[in-house]
Amino acid sequence: MKASQYNIATLKEVPADAEIVSHQLLIRAGFIRKVASGIYNWLPIGLRVLQKVEGIIRQEMNSSGALEVMMPVVQPAELWQESGRWGEYDEGMLLKFNDRHQRAFCLGPTHEEVITDLAKTELKSHKQLPINFYQIQTKFRDETRPRFGVLRAREFIMKDAYSFHVNDESLEETYQLMHDTYTRILKRMQLNFRPVLADTGNIGGSASIEFHVLADSGEDKIAFSTKSDYAANVEMAEALAPPEETTEPKVLEEIATPYAGTIEEVSSLLKVGADRMIKTLIVKGTDTPLVALAIRGDHQLNELKAEKVSGITVPLTMATNAEIQAACNASPGSVGIVGLDLPIVADRSAAVLRNFVCGANNDGFHLLNVNWDRDVSHSIVCDLRDVVEGDPSPDGNGEIQFKRGIEVGHIFQLGNKYSKAMNATVLDDNGNAVVMSMGCYGMGVTRLVGAIIEQNHDENGIVWPAVIAPFHVVIIVINAHKSKQVTKVADEIYTQLSDNNIEILLDDRDGYRPGVKFADSELLGIPYRIVIGERGLANDVVEVTERRSGDINDVALDDVVEKLTGLVQQDLKQ
């Protein structure tokens, strides 16, 4: 590709709304342009990168045996009503509209309904199973806070696959196969990533793993073990029970704590660590009575875990001050678990404490030396809190530490949630209708482009791995207008490298200073740069720079094609 006939659209300025590096660089390097909030154009050079990401995904999905299909972006409401998600799917995310006949539609944020309907009509016999359909298609989610460029867009491209099975064993096999396929895809992209235990959210189902690209800019916090492969989304990581304390119970005392309501205030007033205190949170479900949750003062409630505690109908919300006053006869700052006439659920770490502090259910007072069995009755104990760094890893190996990640993939065992609701069955050997089991496997194609940049950049721009790079080599000619030989040599190297399937950008732009071309080549992130100028040619050499290391070498003119071909081919093989 000759730059003079291409669209090199680099910018000097960082756009004001671009908070993180991948967003800034994608715009500055001229890969994308904003159309509206969370909606982007992909310019020619950006599309080349996007298609490489798609290409790797498509190749690995095909070799896993999955079959590519294409489903519509526009989906009729009826299918979502059939699955029960028309009113249930994350409020606001679904962009709904009517056609000219007042028939309701939405823009697909995901495709479980459409694929289940398709499978229901196309699959008749268990002999057609297992089968895994996938597509690479545009999704629309009306995200509350679109940001970070392509990382959290409203319109984005996802690879989504859906597998169908006659039983759960077969589902587990394909789920594992997709786990391996995702691992291969992300390795080929040379990403530093981790599979992470995840919540199944509103897509439903049982087992689920997210694939996270590690990056400080990631929106998700992941709990890792310092010693093993254990990794879980923080909201999912289990907090184990610490050993029981053994100190002898002391005499219970009520103590005045005027003007102290928060844990910090009471802690500094009484000179007791927050880890020796218990906070009592009064919560309710949509149609359940109040429940008291007891958490250690220095810990945070994990609502997801609390929602799983029996008796609370999701979503869980905090009780109002008036409800707390009525139930506990105290304001929230003085609520405690002693003498409380509500079901009490205690976190494991709170349940092992002895001689702790909690509210007295008497405004302006707290209790000292509270002990579970002696002073509090009828509590159940479970895991209710977020893990913190230093907690023992739930697999018994090492300690928890946190890192941030960008979720680029998510695999689920859906079971029969959709197939049952939509009556998608096949006939078994005996001619009986069996509801199919399903798996679903998403991967963010456009998000991956941003995630790759988050891990591959320096102060001068993007540093693409060769497998993703829009071009493998950029050739810069110096003062071509003054020297016919420079142009001739550049054209020869360009032709010969192209014949070897090396993708080249020949920067032959007239009227651009060499410094501008150098800066552009670095911003664009092209792995190798060849500089051809009169001075080098006088010694029969050209200058070759490797983008990632910055290493610069003179290479003999006769060797340059072979050398660059070898380097690129080796990079592509990795």
From CA 302, how far away is CA 304, in angstroms rounded? 6
The answer to the question of residue 156 lying near ligand ATP (CB under 6 A) is yes
Q: Burial, 153: exposed, middle or buried (Cβ in 10 Å; 0-12, 13-18, 19+)?
A: buried
From CA 73, how far away is CA 183, in angstroms rounded? 28
Residues 408-467 that bind Mg ion (CB under 5 A): 410
For ligand ATP, the binding residue among 23, 111, 141, 457 (CB under 6 A) is: 141
Minimal CB distance to ligand ATP: which residue?
444
Tokens 């030989």 belong to: 485
From CA 422, how far away is CA 78, in angstroms rounded? 11
Smallest separation (angstroms) from Mg ion to the CB of 182: 13
- Tally of CA atoms within 13 A in the half-sphere of 21 that contains its CB: 18
When CB distances are held under 5 to 8 angstroms depending on the partner's kind, the choice from Mg ion, ligand ATP, none that residue 111 binds is none
From CA 79, how far away is CA 56, in angstroms rounded? 32
The answer to the question of residue 20 lying near ligand ATP (CB under 6 A) is no
Contact 437, 167 (CB under 8 A): yes
At 47, which helix (H) or strand (E)? Answer: helix 44-63
When CB distances are held under 5 to 8 angstroms depending on the partner's kind, the choice from Mg ion, ligand ATP, none that residue 106 binds is none
What Å distances lie between residue 431 and 167, 422, 426, 427, CA to CA?
16, 20, 9, 5
DSSP 8-state class, residue 392: B
Smallest separation (angstroms) from ligand ATP to the CB of 152: 5
Smallest separation (angstroms) from ligand ATP to the CB of 267: 35
Residues 141-180 that bind Mg ion (CB under 5 A): none
From CA 296, how far away is CA 347, in angstroms rounded? 8
| x-marked contacts with ligand ATP along 95-114 as a string, rule CB under 6 A | ---------------x----
Smallest separation (angstroms) from Mg ion to the CB of 208: 8
Smallest separation (angstroms) from ligand ATP to the CB of 160: 7
Binding-site size for ligand ATP (CB under 6 A) equals 15
**Pick 117 or 407: Cβ nearer ligand ATP:** 407
Strand order across the beta sheet in which 253-256 lies = 253-256, 365-370, 356-359
When CB distances are held under 5 to 8 angstroms depending on the partner's kind, the choice from Mg ion, ligand ATP, none that residue 447 binds is ligand ATP
From CA 266, how far away is CA 277, in angstroms rounded? 9
From CA 478, how far away is CA 119, in angstroms rounded? 60
From CA 234, how far away is CA 361, in angstroms rounded? 32
Residues 394-453 that bind ligand ATP (CB under 6 A): 407-410, 442, 444, 446-447
Choices 126-134, 312-320, 403-411, 532-540; region in contact with Mg ion by CB under 5 A: 403-411
**Pick 442 or 470: Cβ nearer ligand ATP:** 442
Token readout for 209 is 């793993």
Smallest separation (angstroms) from ligand ATP to the CB of 143: 5
Q: How many helices (H) and strands (E) does the chain have?
A: 16, 31
For ligand ATP, the binding residue among 23, 58, 111, 152 (CB under 6 A) is: 152
Tokens 């349940």 belong to: 351
Instruction: Identify which of 261, 276, 346 has the alpha carbon closest to the alpha carbon of residue 309.
Output: 346
Smallest separation (angstroms) from ligand ATP to the CB of 212: 9
Nearest-Å Rg of the Cα atoms of the chain is 30
Choices 113-121, 150-158, 484-492, 534-542; region in contact with ligand ATP by CB under 6 A: 150-158
**Pick 356 or 418: Cβ nearer Mg ion:** 418
Smallest separation (angstroms) from ligand ATP to the CB of 448: 7
Smallest separation (angstroms) from Mg ion to the CB of 121: 28
**Pick 407 or 543: Cβ nearer Mg ion:** 407
When CB distances are held under 5 to 8 angstroms depending on the partner's kind, the choice from ligand ATP, Mg ion, none that residue 386 binds is none
**Pick 158 or 346: Cβ nearer ligand ATP:** 158
DSSP 8-state class, residue 503: -
Q: Is 254 helix (H, G, I), strand (E, B) or coil?
A: strand
Question: What residue ranges bind ligand ATP (CB under 6 A)?
Answer: 110, 141, 143, 152-153, 156, 158, 407-410, 442, 444, 446-447
Question: What residue ranges bind Mg ion (CB under 5 A)?
Answer: 410
